[in-house]
């Protein structure tokens, strides 16, 4: 079937389609975490001694012995098999950011051919997937393929239920035979341990005597688009790259601001309900959902969880979004910029640090100037962002996110910290050697007696800041919607650990000199703000004035593309950061540059190849058919003695020529082989390839305006963005 007929049939199928029916939701009490082997289920299934040991491991990170693992494995198997599960899988997260699985059956055959189920502690603790096809960035040679997965007891096992059956899924780490981290979980766990060690040191110096282990927490807001599967099937670009490589802007997009927080379409509401029921079964605390800015764009936000569990849950959430979309006749698009000129999708990572004894250490309380622990931890974040802004940019770097950052819909690629008026005033006073809080409680009073008054927050929000304080946490707003949150969490935890170590050393010196705690804290923070306060900015991050001030006056880095950002991983300051905290070895850090660079290059080159194919096999034939139709019409009119206006024919001919010329140029660029270093190759993709692709798109999108609708082969933006 030719492209234009496929598109028109897609419209017909949607118009005449039946609504997806779903059962009424069950009560939250019945389904919450019913498919999770959590502490509550372990307590029911394990002996008291065993349960106490595994609980201590989960809560404090203590080691467990082989006997405990054996008992947990037996209980886990019995629980899973009682729910009809026949297979188990070690789930791990390679450096590509995707989720990987290796499935094994519980059953084996004995010598008589009888079925026996088996799941000893050794199988729970260790798996051995073939590591040869996973990117490793030079951590092993080609003929050394062995890789191990190792059980992470701190992230609960769960049952993944799909139309193809149910599987017991066990979150694991992934490493090479030599013990190098090949995943994102190992460095995340290490970064949390480093932060805990440094934070405990600071709290001890502040006189705290009972200090529970510190943990970072995460709540990631997930934005996404839904497109009818019939339309997606007619668009190779969407199916393969996750974004549209062609498409003119619709007559009505998001300009009216009528979609944001509007009434959720019925079909989408049913989808959301289905998704959330599955999330609740897996113990994922979905808290909020709503329409986002763009048509067909939506958002879900979970409640806060421990960072390691939250990272696993984020991966699982993205999987469920995509699988559930298929059942509802949708395709879920997690790409950061699936539609040019339409609001892109981010994943705002809300991050905080705390424990069970001191609470949330990034919560200022009602009197932040008196909360010395908060001031130190918040100051540590300010120092971290200033020193490691380029590394934060790396944590948000991807080919997809480059289309979004700095596009006046997302934070700029320059990293600064927004504190809000109250906190900024406190730290300004600290710069002068004082500790004042001149802010007053502000009441929201509309002058309407029937509307209750309430206390306003201490500061407004700043949507143009890439790293904003939002009341009791920092919001890393620059992260892309398709990215794993593990990378940002690793970066934030590690930079915090480094800054807390710096603060501990300074604080110890001040206290040893006889200063009281308050005087010592002010002295340390005064030094910190003098050297790193230039990272604090509360204005418009989109403005040209800020970009100039940030770079020329404050010395902050502006890294607009992934090609510009990734070389920061090779800098001495980043090498020292990860080495001193023990989060990544030199080899592991170098491997990440190699893997991320390769992924970036491959994504852009794949898009370029698909663009050439679509331009040649879909758009060019539509253009030539239309020109042929126009030429035939012109000849017929001339035979009748009627003048023919050739304006449209000439425009189509010129645009087609522009497109084919650019397509030829792109093909020549792709054929080039000698690009030098990875840095050079990335810059080649970021400049020459993308600029040539833009030229092809400009001509093709202009053709879409000129060519007859029944000949245009691709579903248009206005068709895809209006969900029926």
Q: What is the pLDDT of residues 114-139, one digit of tens each?
A: 666 778 888 888 887 766 567 777 66
d(CA 103, CA 541): 47
CA distances from 470 to 98, 348, 421, 427, 438 (A): 29, 12, 12, 16, 20
Q: Sign of dihedral through CA atoms 715, 716, 719, 723? A: positive
**Domain shared by 298 and 310, yes or no:** yes
> Considering only CA atoms, which of 28, 193, 205, 97 is closest in space to residue 595?
97
Does the pLDDT at position 21 exceed 80? no
Strand partners, 9: none
Q: What is the pLDDT of residue 142?
A: 60
**Domain shared by 214 and 346, yes or no:** yes
**Domain shared by 575 and 608, yes or no:** no
Residue whose token pair is 């298929």: 326
> pLDDT (tens digit, 9 = 90+) per residue, 76-127?
999 999 999 999 999 999 888 888 888 888 877 666 676 667 788 888 888 8
pLDDT band at 1 (very low <50, low <70, confident <90, very high): very low
**Residue 626 CB neighbours (<10 A):** 21
For the chain, percent of residues with pLDDT exceeding 70? 91
> b/e string for 217-238 if b means 16 or more Cβ within 10 A?
bbbbbbbbbbbbbbbbbbbbbb
Tell me whether residue 452 is in a domain: yes
d(CA 405, CA 420): 22
Q: What is the pLDDT of residue 408?
A: 62
CA distances from 250 to 186, 294, 295, 427, 441 (A): 45, 12, 11, 47, 46
> pLDDT (tens digit, 9 = 90+) per residue, 483-501?
999 999 999 999 999 999 9
Q: What is the pLDDT of residue 173?
A: 93
Residue-by-residue DSSP string for 395-428: HT--TTGGGTTTSSSS--SB--EE--HHHHHHHH
d(CA 563, CA 335): 19
120-129, 516-525, 650-659: segment of lowest average pLDDT = 120-129
d(CA 190, CA 486): 12
Tell me whether residue 5 is in a domain: no
d(CA 634, CA 643): 8
Q: What is the pLDDT of residue 130?
A: 66
Q: What is the pLDDT of residue 637?
A: 87
**Domain shared by 62 and 175, yes or no:** yes
Q: Give the three-state DSSP class for 249.
A: coil
**Domain shared by 592 and 612, yes or no:** no
Structural domain count, the chain? 3
| CATH of residue 670 | 1.20.120.1560
DSSP code of residue 130? B
Tell me whether residue 207 is in a domain: yes
**Domain shared by 584 and 677, yes or no:** no
pLDDT band at 582 (very low <50, low <70, confident <90, very high): very high
Strand partners, 348: 221
**Domain shared by 551 and 575, yes or no:** yes
pLDDT band at 20 (very low <50, low <70, confident <90, very high): low
| CATH of residue 306 | 3.30.590.10
Residue-by-residue DSSP string for 287-334: EEEEE-SSTTEEEEEEPPEEHHHHHHHHHHHHHHHHHHHHHTTEEEE-
The whole model's pTM is what?
A: 0.93
**Domain shared by 501 and 387, yes or no:** yes
d(CA 28, CA 8): 42
**Domain shared by 55 and 202, yes or no:** no
Q: Among the three residues 582, 599, 616, which one is the final residue of a domain in this structure?
A: 599
Work out the average pLDDT over 240-255: 88
d(CA 373, CA 207): 10
**Domain shared by 607 and 593, yes or no:** no
48-52, 457-461, 487-491, 689-693: segment of lowest average pLDDT = 457-461
Distance of CA 264 to the CA centre of its chain: 24
Does the pLDDT at position 572 exceed 80? yes
Task: Check: CB of residue 573 under 8 Å from CB of residue 207.
Answer: no
Tell me whether residue 72 is in a domain: yes
Task: Check: CB of residue 147 under 8 Å from CB of residue 136.
Answer: no
Task: Check: CB of residue 724 under 8 Å from CB of residue 328.
Answer: no
**Domain shared by 361 and 431, yes or no:** yes
For the chain, percent of residues with pLDDT exceeding 90? 71
Q: Among the three residues 121, 151, 183, which one is the final residue of a domain in this structure?
A: 183
Tell me whether residue 22 is in a domain: no
What is the domain extent for residue 272? 191-599
**Domain shared by 62 and 74, yes or no:** yes
Tell me whether residue 14 is in a domain: no
Which residues 6+ apart lie within 8 Å of 512 measured at CB?
Answer: none
Tell me whether residue 536 is in a domain: yes
Both tokens assigned to 169: 């899924």
Q: Among the three residues 114, 148, 183, which one is the final residue of a domain in this structure?
A: 183
- What average pLDDT is seen over the chain? 90
163-167, 266-270, 374-378, 474-478: segment of lowest average pLDDT = 163-167
| CATH of residue 152 | 3.10.20.70
Does the pLDDT at position 16 exceed 50? no
**Residue 638 CB neighbours (<10 A):** 11
Tell me whether residue 16 is in a domain: no
Q: What is the pLDDT of residue 598?
A: 95
Does the pLDDT at position 299 exceed 50? yes
> Considering only CA atoms, which of 487, 510, 459 is closest in space to residue 396?
487
d(CA 33, CA 19): 29
């Amino acid at each position: 079937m030719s492209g234009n007929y496929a598109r028109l049939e897609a419209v017909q199928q949607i118009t005449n389609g039946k609504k997806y029916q779903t059962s009424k939701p069950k009560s939250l009490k019945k389904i919450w975490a019913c498919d999770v082997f959590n502490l509550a289920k372990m307590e029911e299934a394990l002996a008291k001694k065993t349960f106490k040991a595994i609980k201590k491991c989960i809560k404090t990170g203590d080691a467990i012995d082989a006997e405990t693992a054996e008992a947990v494995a037996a209980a886990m198997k019995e629980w899973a098999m009682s729910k009809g599960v026949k297979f188990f899988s070690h789930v791990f997260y390679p450096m590509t950011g995707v989720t990987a699985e290796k499935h094994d059956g519980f059953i084996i055959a004995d010598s008589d051919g009888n079925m026996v189920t088996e799941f000893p502690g050794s199988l729970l603790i260790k798996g051995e997937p073939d590591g040869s096809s996973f990117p490793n960035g030079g951590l092993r040679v080609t003929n050394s393929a062995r890789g191990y997965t190792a059980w992470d007891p701190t992230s609960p096992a769960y049952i993944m239920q799909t139309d193809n059956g149910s599987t017991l899924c066990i979150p694991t780490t992934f490493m090479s035979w030599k013990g190098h981290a090949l995943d994102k979980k190992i460095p995340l766990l290490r970064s949390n341990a480093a932060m805990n060690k440094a934070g405990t040191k600071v709290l001890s110096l502040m006189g705290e005597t009972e200090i529970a282990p510190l943990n970072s927490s995460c709540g990631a807001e997930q934005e996404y688009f839904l497109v009818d599967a019939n339309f997606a099937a007619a668009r190779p670009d969407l199916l393969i790259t996750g974004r549209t490589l062609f498409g003119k802007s619709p007559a009505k997009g998001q300009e009216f601001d009528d979609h944001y927080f509007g009434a959720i379409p019925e079909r989408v509401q049913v989808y959301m309900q289905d998704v959330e029921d599955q999330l609740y079964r897996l113990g994922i605390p979905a808290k909020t959902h709503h329409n986002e800015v763009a048509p067909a764009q939506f958002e879900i936000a979970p409640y806060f969880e421990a960072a390691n569990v939250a990272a696993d849950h984020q991966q699982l959430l993205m999987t469920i979004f995509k699988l559930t979309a298929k059942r509802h006749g949708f395709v879920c698009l997690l790409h950061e910029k699936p539609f040019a000129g339409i609001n892109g999708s981010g994943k705002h990572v809300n991050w905080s640090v705390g424990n069970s004894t001191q609470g949330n250490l990034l919560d200022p309380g009602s009197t932040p100037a008196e909360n010395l622990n908060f001031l130190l931890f918040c100051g540590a974040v300010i120092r971290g962002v200033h020193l490691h802004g380029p590394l934060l940019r790396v944590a948000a770097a991807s080919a997809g996110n480059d289309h979004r950052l700095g596009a006046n819909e997302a934070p700029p690629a320059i990293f600064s910290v927004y504190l809000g008026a109250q906190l900024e005033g406190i730290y300004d006073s600290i710069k002068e050697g004082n500790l004042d809080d001149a802010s007053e409680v502000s009441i929201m009073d509309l002058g309407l007696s029937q509307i209750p008054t309430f206390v306003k927050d201490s500061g407004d929000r700043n949507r143009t800041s890439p790293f904003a304080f939002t009341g009791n946490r920092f919001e890393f707003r620059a992260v892309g919607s398709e990215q794993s949150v593990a990378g940002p969490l690793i970066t934030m935890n590690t930079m915090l650990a480094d800054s807390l170590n710096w603060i501990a050393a300074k604080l110890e010196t001040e206290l040893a000199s006889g200063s009281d705690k308050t005087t010592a804290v002010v002295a340390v923070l005064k030094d910190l703000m003098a050297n790193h306060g230039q990272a604090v900015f509360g204005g418009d991050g989109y403005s040209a004035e800020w970009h100039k001030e940030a770079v020329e006056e404050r010395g902050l880095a502006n890294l607009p593309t992934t090609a510009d950002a990734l070389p920061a991983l090779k800098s001495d300051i980043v090498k020292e950061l990860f080495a001193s905290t023990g989060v990544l070895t030199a080899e592991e850090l170098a491997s990440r540059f190699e893997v991320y660079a390769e992924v970036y290059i491959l994504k852009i080159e794949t898009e370029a190849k698909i663009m050439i194919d679509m331009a040649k096999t879909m758009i060019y034939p539509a253009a030539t058919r239309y020109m042929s139709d126009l030429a035939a019409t012109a000849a017929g009119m001339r035979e009748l003695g009627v003048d023919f206006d050739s304006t449209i024919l000439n425009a189509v001919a010129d645009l087609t020529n522009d497109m084919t010329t650019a397509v030829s140029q792109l093909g020549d660029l792709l054929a080039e082989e000698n690009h030098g270093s990875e840095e050079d190759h990335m810059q080649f993709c970021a400049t020459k390839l993308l600029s040539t692709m833009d030229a092809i798109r400009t001509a093709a999108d202009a053709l879409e305006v000129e060519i007859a609708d029944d000949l245009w082969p691709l579903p248009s933006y206005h068709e895809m963005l209006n969900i029926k």
